[in-house]
Amino acid sequence: MSERGASLRVKGLESGYGRVNVLRGIDIEVHSGELVTVIGSNGAGKSTLLKTIVGFVTATAGSVSVDDRDLTRTTPERAVGIGVSLVPEGRMLFGPMSVRENLVLGAYSKSGRGEASLAQDLERVYSLFPVLEERAGQSAETLSGGEQQMLAVARALMSKPRVLLLDEPSLGLAPKVIAEIFHTLDALRAEGLSILLVEQDAKLALKHADRGYVMRTGEIVLSGTADDLLADDDVRLIYLGKWHGKDDVR
Amino acid sequence: MGGSELLQFVISGLKNGSIYALVSLGFTIVYASTGVINFAQGEFYMLGGMFSVWAFATFGLPLWLAAIVGILLTAATGILFELLAIRPRKDGDQLSLIIITIGGSLLLSSLARHLFGPDELAIPAFTSGPSVRVFGAAIERQTLWIWGLTITAVVILNWVYNKTKLGRALRACAINRDAARLVGVDTRLIVTVSFALAAALGGLAGLSVAPLTQTAFDAGARVGVKGFAAAILGGLGNPIAAVAGGLMLGLIESMSIAYLSSTYKDAISLLVLLLVLFVRPQGLFSRSRREKV
Ligand SMILES: Nc1ncnc2c1ncn2[C@@H]1O[C@H](COP(=O)(O)OP(=O)(O)OP(=O)(O)O)[C@@H](O)[C@H]1O
Ligand SMILES: [Mg+2]
């Protein structure tokens, strides 16, 4: 939000859970002001990638950097302070708290900036998602799925990120709501925010992205501009659900 | 039983209930940020009394200052306890953490015995003078102090929880730790802070009741059980429920003395504890143990 987007560079990133390795050397770049998507089927490791970038999962090899600042093995609370904000899978809202309180907590890492700045940022996310202003006093758990997803995005924006990470924001939502959320992502990108979008709905993601990566069992197997990927036979096969029938992807 | 006699029991119930409420708040606050029942909570109560006696008798500090020193030293003990015993076990499952708190409880009481001796100790009442008479019942002045201090503590705590950044972080952490980290809350710091708060409240309870009951190195366990029962009664959900649970337990105890016999007083809290766990494990005043989306 009105901050210039930073560039995100992920190099040779490896991580997993306990002894199970999930990411097996991931290289990804998001240039300043780009909307980049990572697509892939269930269990490919997309969420693990985002969780490793912000530090919920510890990297076992490789590096993450934002602009030229090293962020490898950071913690989520530090990442958001540096300007990398995650809209997580499952939204993770503060259910019993009001919409407004969720948003105020979203600005927690910036709360040194004072009331005036907070009010301004609230105005801003309310203008992006007017329904949140109508529901400001309502507890988050009483919102509809679509409204909850908007709140999750809005809460992340309250930290004034320079890189926004989103984990399947379209999941389980009606087409109309999806359109509204992706319209907002387009607008944020147009303002210069860098966005890394993880999606299972490849068609939707590629329609809005500048570039994309295809992930499969913890590796990037394909990358290119969104248009190239949309035209790619292998990518087309994913929509048809024939991905697993094919062994040689490249 | 006459009206004034009954009133006397109610007064006594609300006095003990206030103490249980403070200890119960300690349980609730730590549970909210860690998911762990801190069985050393009773020792904070004991230490509050002991540190105050020590500051008053050994160092000759004025009573009010000795009380503040008592609270601060107890809070510091809470912080040390968390840093040394809880934090290093960052991947510890909750069962092992609970066992650590039981061990810590034993350790704190033996340390207290070592430092302050095995004898019962007391401080004078905060203000001297005869009891206040209300409708034929007598209220000791120290009881008024206990009520006043409990109300003050609850009001301040409520303000912190609802109006400050720290309070918002404490609540966020209780609802969903990972979500709290996502927005930038340092949850490890929050855990330390909640131990400090819990210890301070336990210490406040211990020192404000010390003029009435005396205190000793082994005073923590009994009150710990009462506070725990009160917290379970309230449902470990939120501070208000913890206070309600404490007051209710005090009243139940007092009424059981009035209508049954004082022999059962201590057994009552265990009975209440078991009853709640069997019949309504989420407590009387809570929707659920941990609230999540
Ligand atoms: N907390 C966890 N503990 C152990 N294994 C996990 C954990 N989370 C994910 N995994 C495993 O890691 C692999 C990658 O999971 P991940 O959630 O990153 O996939 P994904 O691409 O996000 O899938 P989806 O599209 O279903 O969200 C899977 O095999 C999964 O079983
Ligand atoms: Mg996922």
Taking a contact as any Cβ pair under 8 Å apart, which residues of chain A between 55 and 74 contact chain B?
56
- Of B162, B144, B153, whose CA–CA distance to B23 is shortest? B153
Cβ–Cβ gap A76/B182 under 8 Å: yes
pLDDT tens, position by position, A181-235: 999 999 999 999 999 999 988 889 999 999 999 999 999 999 999 999 988 888 7
Å from CA of A49 to ligand 1 middle: 10
The span from the CA of A81 to the CA of A83, in Å, is 5
pLDDT at res. B264: 76
Ligand 1, closest atom to CA A89? Answer: 27
Testing the interface with A: which of B183, B286, B291, B292 to mutate, by most A Cβ within 10 A? B183
pLDDT at res. A244: 46
The span from the CA of A192 to the CA of A194, in Å, is 6
User: According to CATH, what is the number of the domain B3-279?
Assistant: 1.10.3470
Cβ–Cβ gap A95/B172 under 8 Å: no
pLDDT tens, position by position, B217-251: 888 999 999 999 999 988 887 788 899 999 999 99
pLDDT at res. A126: 97
Cβ(B183)–Cβ(B172) below 8 Å = yes
**What three-state secondary structure class fits A214?**
strand
**What three-state secondary structure class fits B261?**
coil
Q: In what order do the strands lie in the sheet with A219-225?
A: A84-87, A163-167, A194-199, A35-39, A211-216, A219-225
pLDDT band of residue A107 (cuts 50, 70, 90) is very high
Å from CA of A45 to ligand 1 middle: 6
Q: Radius of gyration of chain B from Cα atoms?
A: 19
Testing the interface with B: which of A105, A142, A149, A160 to mutate, by most B Cβ within 10 A? A105
pLDDT band of residue B266 (cuts 50, 70, 90) is confident
Nearest CA to ligand 1 atom 29: A43
pLDDT at res. A250: 41
Of residues A76 and B260, more confidence is placed in A76
Domain segments of chain B as ranges: 3-279
pLDDT at res. B290: 46
Ligand 1, closest atom to CA A40? Answer: 21
DSSP string covering A23-60, please? EEEEEEEE-TT-EEEEE--TTSSHHHHHHHHHTSS-EE
Ligand 1, closest atom to CA A16? Answer: 12
Of residues B202 and A232, more confidence is placed in B202
pTM: 0.89
Residue A105: which of B178, B183, B293 has the nearest Cβ?
A: B183
- B interface toward A at CB cutoff 8 Å? 165, 168-169, 171-172, 175-176, 178-187, 291-293
pLDDT at res. A240: 43
| Residues of B in Cβ contact (< 8 Å) with A90 | 293
Of residues B216 and A98, more confidence is placed in A98
Q: To which H or E segment does residue A61 belong?
A: strand A59-66
Cβ–Cβ gap A76/B178 under 8 Å: yes
Å from CA of A88 to ligand 1 middle: 13
Which residues lie below 8 Å from residue A3, measured CB to CB, with a gap of 6+? Answer: A83, A160, A161, A162, A193
Strand partners, A211: A36, A225
Would you say residue A246 has pLDDT above 60?
A: no
Q: Complex ipTM, two decimals?
A: 0.91
pLDDT tens, position by position, B28-73: 999 998 888 999 999 999 999 999 999 999 898 999 999 999 999 9
Label the pairing between strands A69-70 and A84-87. unpaired
pLDDT tens, position by position, A18-52: 889 999 999 999 999 999 999 998 899 999 999 99
Distance from CA of B197 to the nearest CA of A (A): 21
